[in-house]
């Protein structure tokens, strides 16, 4: 395959930004110029399709296609082609389960996407043109992103880095890492991040009092949290609240008018709800078992969104009750709960 311009496509969270920074530093001496796009799940398919049509050398990190047609296009394009490296580096379980055997995909659910790509670069026979010095200096940054993305809670600085991403914005954070690839914040960065965390805790108090909880589903409306708040807030609800819900959903109205619904759980339910609701046309989505997102069209009301999430939760529960369960058993159980 002829090698076109290197186009790095990555996610807008700390994991995706770290992955993009690793790709930029690892390749800039041998593959300049490098095109970098940070985006969400809704933009991946069009970017990949356009890149293929223009002959770009695609490197997609921490994201995967939402449409089967795009996967089919990739299968056709790379059928029988010996690749220098995979096009996609991911770590989501849904990607592994459906597409893990593709030669153009490297997926590992045991680590964040930045670490999947970073480890591949350092492994024997791979990344032979990579800037080894730059990679060595970025090891701690990758581990910080891994701690944050997997919720290991072993590195306090991972929350500060998430705060810095929120303050600077995804592209601002990437600019910082393109100039200074160290995970160590300077005094100004750390002060700003700590001040943000303090104000974040105040927003969390308001958000807790505004939660719309109905049974095991709790939803927070748009306008209370800021970008970058969701993971920490949902962790607060799921891990520290007495009698927590099973799923927390946070609404955000995007600039285009559509809805982004971020969901968190602790039993894999968020990912299963995404699998039930996304259709690749009107409703898109993706993510982990316990950290996933759905994107609803602008004409949906917040009540329609809540009802859709609740229906997906109930559908999953009913499908998990076992073959011997009858409709009468389900109704009897519901009547018992209501009584």
Closest by alpha carbon to 228, among 183, 170, 184? 170
- Bridging pattern class, strands 247-253 and 217-220: parallel
**Rounded Cα gap, residues 80 and 295, in angstroms:** 35
Res 232: pLDDT: 81
Res 330: pLDDT: 41
Res 30: pLDDT: 86
Residue 145: which H helix or E strand, with range? helix 139-149
Please give the full DSSP string across 232-249, using - where no structure is assigned.
Answer: HHHHHHHHHSSS--SEEE
Domains present along the chain, CATH in parentheses:
6-189 (3.90.1640), 210-322 (3.10.310.30)
- Bridging pattern class, strands 34-38 and 6-10: parallel
| pLDDT tens digits, 189-199 | 999 999 999 99
**Rounded Cα gap, residues 6 and 240, in angstroms:** 44
- Bridging pattern class, strands 259-265 and 247-253: antiparallel
| pLDDT tens digits, 269-279 | 998 999 899 88
Closest by alpha carbon to 119, among 54, 22, 17, 233? 22
Res 189: pLDDT: 97
**Rounded Cα gap, residues 103 and 84, in angstroms:** 11
**Rounded Cα gap, residues 164 and 182, in angstroms:** 14
Print pLDDT tens along the chain (339 aa): 446 899 999 999 999 999 999 999 999 988 889 999 999 877 899 999 999 999 999 999 999 998 889 999 999 999 988 898 999 999 987 788 889 999 999 999 999 999 999 999 998 677 777 788 899 999 999 999 999 888 788 999 998 998 999 899 999 999 999 999 999 999 999 999 999 999 988 999 999 999 999 999 999 999 999 877 888 888 889 888 899 999 999 999 988 899 999 999 988 899 899 989 988 778 988 877 788 899 999 999 999 999 999 999 999 888 876 544 444 444 444 445 444
**Cβ distance 166 to 228 under 8 Å?**
yes
Tokens 């089967």 — which residue?
Answer: 68
Q: How many CA atoms lie within 13 A of 209 on its CB side?
A: 5
């Amino acid at each position: 395959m002829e090698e076109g311009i290197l186009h790095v496509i990555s996610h807008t969270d700390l994991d995706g930004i770290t992955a993009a920074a690793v790709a930029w530093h690892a390749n800039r001496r041998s593959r300049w110029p490098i095109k970098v796009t940070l985006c969400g799940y809704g933009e991946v398919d069009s970017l990949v399709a356009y890149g293929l049509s223009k002959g770009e050398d695609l490197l997609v990190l921490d994201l995967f296609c939402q449409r089967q047609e795009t996967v089919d296009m990739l299968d056709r394009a790379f059928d029988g082609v010996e690749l220098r490296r995979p096009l996609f580096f991911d770590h989501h379980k849904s990607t592994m389960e459906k597409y893990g055997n593709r030669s153009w995909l490297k997926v590992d659910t045991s680590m964040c996407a930045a670490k999947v790509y970073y480890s591949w670069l350092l492994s024997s026979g791979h990344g032979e043109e990579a800037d080894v010095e730059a990679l060595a200096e970025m090891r701690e940054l990758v581990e910080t992103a891994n701690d944050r993305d997997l919720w290991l809670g072993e590195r306090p600085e991972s929350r500060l880095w998430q705060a810095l991403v929120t303050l600077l914005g995804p592209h601002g954070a990437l600019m910082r890492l393109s100039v200074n690839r160290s995970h160590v914040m300077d005094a100004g960065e750390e002060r700003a991040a700590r001040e943000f965390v303090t104000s974040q805790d105040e927003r969390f108090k308001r958000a807790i009092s505004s939660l719309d909880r109905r049974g095991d589903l709790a939803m927070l409306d748009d306008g209370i949290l800021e970008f970058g708040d969701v993971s920490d807030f949902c962790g607060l609800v799921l891990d520290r609240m007495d009698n927590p819900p099973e799923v927390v959903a946070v609404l955000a109205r995007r600039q285009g008018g559509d809805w982004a619904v971020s969901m968190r759980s602790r039993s894999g339910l968020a990912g299963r709800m995404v699998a039930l609701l996304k259709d690749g046309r009107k409703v898109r989505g993706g993510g982990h078992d316990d950290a996933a997102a759905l994107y609803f069209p602008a004409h949906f009301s917040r009540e329609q969104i809540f009802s859709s999430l609740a229906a997906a939760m109930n559908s999953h529960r009913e499908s998990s009750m076992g073959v011997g369960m009858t409709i009468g058993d389900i109704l009897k159980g519901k009547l018992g709960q209501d009584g």
